[in-house]
Amino acid sequence: MSSNAPLRVGIVGASGFTGAELMRLIAGHPDMSLVAATGDSQAGTKVRSLYPSLASDFGEMVYSSYDPSDFVGVDAVFLGLPHMASQPVVADLYKKVGCILDLGSDFRLKDPALYPQWYGADHTMPELLDEFVYGLPELYRKDLIGARGVAVPGCYPTAASLALTPFVQADAIETTGVIVDAASGVSGAGRGLNPSTTFAAVDENFNAYGLLTHRHTPEIEQATGCEILFTPHLAPMVRGILATCYARPSDASFSTDQALELLTEFYAQEAFVVVDEASPSTKATLGANTVHITARVDNRTGWLLTISALDNLVKGAAGGAVQCANIALGLEETVGLSTSGLMP
């Protein structure tokens, strides 16, 4: 980016955890300026009152109610809305802004028939499903260049897809009977009040949910080309995704060394992917737009095990969206994003 004025961006749904993370990243982005931030449930509230962590950059900004006229003509709009709530906003703004980046699920699935099954509602804009690029740069970077609409992946699909896709593309695994067991921090459930996500419910607890019916299942299947049995878990932590994936190697002689070499070569040029023999840790990715991946082949049982870790609010949401926006808008892909996590 040159020394010209920064690009003008807005957030619809800025009062949730993902919206707050977007604001934090935009505050540190040298080529973006936040010009509008809506939060209908918090309209009239100062940003600093809801998120004191943002006071130094947005202390006097007030959340507004959504008005399309506040966004028309901006370079990018990020949608941090609940699932199936983005379609009316897209109807208002598509092709009236430089790029729409939807962090919800509304434009992730290409088959409109899947929405009633997994989200309980018909899609109102099926004609735009093919217009939105799936926003996983490590797999779809070329499609993102100049994109007008980006469907930013879910945090679970990001973790699972990056762990499995190198093996799928190399024909190294069978694509049926693939298992994804993944655990998420409680921030993945959003800021809204829910009895199952209170401190008393989450602390010293670990449980599986969405058994056989979780809405990210078809998204993972679409992104990887695999038949997936997906089981998500809620872990007693604020941030992080740890995805443990199991698949059958296509060749019985496939080894751990070969698996690690395959991952290393696949991601050799990727700034936001770390391949290591060490088992990934969610803490190592805290605050970073980085995913850590490893793999093992168990000769005794014949299974490939591949594990990934990421920060669900950064690489799994806001950071992934900013990375996509950088590409779509012609900026350096890594600008405004950290590769190093916070420790301790």
pLDDT in tens, 207-252: 999 999 999 999 999 999 999 999 999 999 999 999 999 999 999 9
Query: Is 50 among the domain residues?
Result: yes
Position with higher pLDDT, 144 vs 3: 144
In terms of domains, do 166 and 285 share one?
yes
Residue with the two structure tokens 């309209």: 43
Give the strand pairing for 178-184 and 207-208: unpaired
Task: Give me the mean pLDDT over the 68-89 stretch.
Answer: 96
How large a percentage of the chain has pLDDT more than 90? 92
Q: What is the pLDDT of residues 158-193, one digit of tens each?
A: 999 999 999 999 999 999 999 999 999 999 888 877
Verify that 161 and 272 share a domain, yes or no: yes
The DSSP output letter for 125 is -
Q: According to the model, what pLDDT value does residue 1 have?
A: 45
Q: What are 307's strand-pairing partners?
A: 244, 294
Q: How far apart are CA 275 and CA 267, in angstroms?
A: 8
Residues 54 and 91 in one domain: yes
Of 9, 325, 273, the residue nearest 145 (C-alpha): 325
Angle at which helices 217-224 and 155-169 cross, to 10°:
30
Same domain for 126 and 235: no
pLDDT reported for residue 304: 98
Neighbours of 119 (CB within 10 A): 16
201: buried, middle or exposed (CB in 10 Å: 19+, 13-18, 0-12)?
Answer: middle
Find the CATH number of the domain harbouring 76: 3.40.50.720
Whether 174 and 142 map to the same domain: the answer is no
* Residue 189 belongs to domain with CATH number: 3.30.360.10
Residue 261 confidence class, pLDDT cut points 50, 70, 90 = very high
Residue spans of alpha helices (H) in 79-213: 87-93, 114-119, 137-144, 155-169, 199-202
Verify that 231 and 247 share a domain, yes or no. yes
Q: Give me the phi and psi of 182, to 5 degrees please.
A: -140, 145
Are 28 and 90 members of one domain? yes
Q: With 80 as the cut, is the pLDDT of residue 57 above it?
A: yes
Q: Residues 93, 171: one domain? A: no
Query: 155 catalytic, yes or no?
Result: yes
Q: How far apart are CA 340 and CA 32, in angstroms?
A: 21
Question: How does residue 322 score in pLDDT terms, banded at 50, 70 and 90?
Answer: very high
Q: Please indicate, yes or no, if residue 95 is contained in any of the structural domains.
A: yes
User: 140 and 167: one domain?
Assistant: no
Q: Residue 332 — pLDDT band, cuts 50, 70, 90?
A: very high
What's phi and psi for 65, nearest 5 deg?
A: -80, 150
What's the structural domain count of the chain?
Answer: 2
Instruction: Give the mean pLDDT of 65-85.
Output: 96
What is the amino acid identity at position 151? A
337 in a domain, yes or no?
no
pLDDT at site 328: 98
pLDDT given for residue 191 in this prediction: 83
Measured in whole angstroms, the distance separating CA 39 from the mean position of its chain's CA atoms is: 20
Domain span holding position 253? 155-312
Q: Which of 221, 92, 205, 83 is nearest to 151 (CA)?
A: 83
Let me know if residue 241 belongs to a domain. Answer: yes
Would you mind telling me the total number of residues written for the chain in this entry? 344
Q: Does 344 reside within a domain? A: no
Specify the pLDDT at position 2. 46
Q: Which of 272, 285, 314, 241 is nearest to 20 (CA)?
A: 314
Q: What is the average pLDDT value for the chain, to the nearest integer?
A: 96
Tokens 């594990």 correspond to what residue? 307
Q: How confident is the model at residue 258 (pLDDT cuts 50, 70, 90)?
A: very high
Which of 155, 226, 245, 324 does the annotation list as catalytic?
A: 155
Q: Which residues contact 187 (CB under 8 A, 6 or more apart)?
A: 17, 238, 239, 312, 313
Query: What pLDDT does residue 344 have?
Result: 86
CA atoms within 13 A on the CB side of 66: 21
| Of the candidates 130, 127, 129, 188, the residue with the CA atom closest to the CA atom of residue 157 | 188
Contact in structure between 242 and 292 (CB atoms under 8 Å): no
Q: Is the pLDDT of residue 3 over 80?
A: no
Once rounded to an integer, what is the mean pLDDT over residues 324-343?
97
Confidence of residue 266 (pLDDT cuts 50, 70, 90): very high
Q: How far is CA 257 from the centre of its chain?
A: 29
Say if 23 falls within a structural domain: yes
76-79, strands of its sheet edge to edge: 32-38, 7-12, 76-79, 99-102, 149-151, 133-134
